[in-house]
Structure 1
Amino acid sequence: MRHGKTINHLGRTKSHRVAMLSNMANSLILNKRIATTLAKAKALRKYAEPLITKAKNDTTHSRRTVFSYLQDKEAVKELFGTISEKVAERNGGYTRIIKLGTRYGDNAEMALIELVDFNETLLADKEEASATEGKSTRRRRGGKKTASTDKVENEAGTEAVEVVNTDADDASVEEPKA
């Protein structure tokens, strides 16, 4: 049973795991997205999101606390600069994990972890969709019908020409004069 086992040890010692998560958090902050295994991405989410929350309050104490986790001045500067501005109104859920499938060599589940507010293509698609989206209706829109004539042979063996009226829904059949 796994009662109370909240930490995924990732097959590493504590010092190795802390160093690895710190390096991955630095890469995530500086590059805005990284590809890794699914287990590491889930562990990184638990490691990085509290740091981003702490970065929303820009004080000396919070900077020193975050620096003790990241050990990189550039990452701390980026986190308290551009990232904290973008996530200021967000109440959590700063990262997104996208499953990529399995790795060729060892069949490990791969995932892409990214900062939600920095996916430029997704944000551009949302803005474009909201700009082009007009009044939405639940009714089906009927296009104009084109007039077509088909020769149909009736039971008597004479040809009948069917004319489809574009204005009305019903079709009228006329007998040709021969």
Structure 2
Amino acid sequence: MRHRIYGKQLNRTSSHRRAMFRNLAAGLFEHGEIETTLPKAKAVQPFVERIITIAKRGGFTARRRIESMLNDRKIHAWVADPNVPDGKKDNDYFDLPEESEIEFNRYGEVRKAPRLVQHVMTAIAERFADRDGGYTRIVRTGRHRLGDGTDLVILQLVGEEDGAELKGGTPVRRQQANRRAAFAAKLRKGGTAAATQEEAAIAEAPAEEAVADEAEETKPTDAAPESQNDSGGDEAAGGEEKKD
């Protein structure tokens, strides 16, 4: 029976799962975002946020606790690696060290580089100094891993950006709302003019109808004398013929 078992097991032993959480958290703190599967991202998210909360307290005790939760190691050594493309050396989350700050020995091993725990205590803690919880987000990419087809997501640190600034434009819903607001304002602005035009049209309609009625009434009266004159002329012509 599943008694006294906390969290997702992820089909791993406790030691394997702890090591996996440490590696995922270290990669997230170093790069600002990582790509992993959805179950792993959901499982490691509370672990990462707990470390950030402890780092914000500061002090020697907080540092000791973080060292017990993470494996302190050298980070950002890839900045000085010539095999890494320049396009991958840009980071939108942190200020990367200069290449001169990273040193290698004659065997190619990293001799001097920033430390992970120090990076968490300074850069990460200062980044979320004014934020109470919710330091990470899970972004669904819609892609699937080859083989088992599981969902791939991006686990990243929350920044200072807004929703509209993520893609550099106005969201579709906001564009629709703006168009509707502009259309409503146009209707309100042109409502008075349209009302006056309708009133003028309604007032002109009876006058036009009255003029048309008068014209129809005058037409038969004008035609009657003409018919009488025509009949009189015919009678006169007939009388003259009889006299002849």
The two structures share one fold, judged by TM-score above 0.5? yes
- Whichever residue aligns with residue 43 of structure 1, its letter is A
Match of 2:119 in 1: 78
- Whichever residue aligns with residue 61 of structure 1, its letter is T
Question: How far apart are 1:2 and its partner, in Å?
Answer: 6.1
The TM-score, its normalising length taken from structure 1, stands at: 0.67
Contact 2:28–2:156 (Cα < 8 Å) also in 1: yes
Following the alignment from structure 1 to structure 2, what is the Cα–Cα distance between the partners of residues 54 and 123?
Answer: 31
> Secondary structure at 1:56's aligned position in 2?
helix
Match of 1:33 in 2: 33
Tell me which of 159, 165, 176 is aligned to 1:117: 159
Kindly indicate whether structure 1 or structure 2 has the higher relative contact order, using CA contacts under 8 Å at least 6 residues apart. 2
Q: Aligned pair 1:142/2:186, yes or no? A: yes
CA RMSD of aligned residues (A): 3.4
* Gapped regions of structure 1 (runs ≥ 5): 130-135, 146-166, 173-178
Within-5 A mapping of 1:145-164:
none
Change in 2 beyond 3 A, CA 1:41/1:125 = closer
Q: Over residues 27-74 of structure 1, what are the superposed CA-to-partner deviations in whole Å (9 max), with x where a residue is unaligned?
A: 000111111001000111021111000000111111011011111242
Contact 2:145–2:151 (Cα < 8 Å) also in 1: no
Higher helix residue share: 2
> Secondary structure at 1:18's aligned position in 2?
helix
Higher strand residue share: 1
In the alignment of these two chains, the number of paired residues is 146
* Gapped regions of structure 2 (runs ≥ 5): 74-114, 171-177, 202-244
Q: Percent identity?
A: 35
Contact 2:145–2:152 (Cα < 8 Å) also in 1: no
> Secondary structure at 1:100's aligned position in 2?
strand
Change in 2 beyond 3 A, CA 1:79/1:123 = farther
Following the alignment from structure 2 to structure 1, what is the Cα–Cα distance between the partners of residues 2 and 185?
Answer: 56
Match of 1:149 in 2: none
The TM-score, its normalising length taken from structure 2, stands at: 0.50
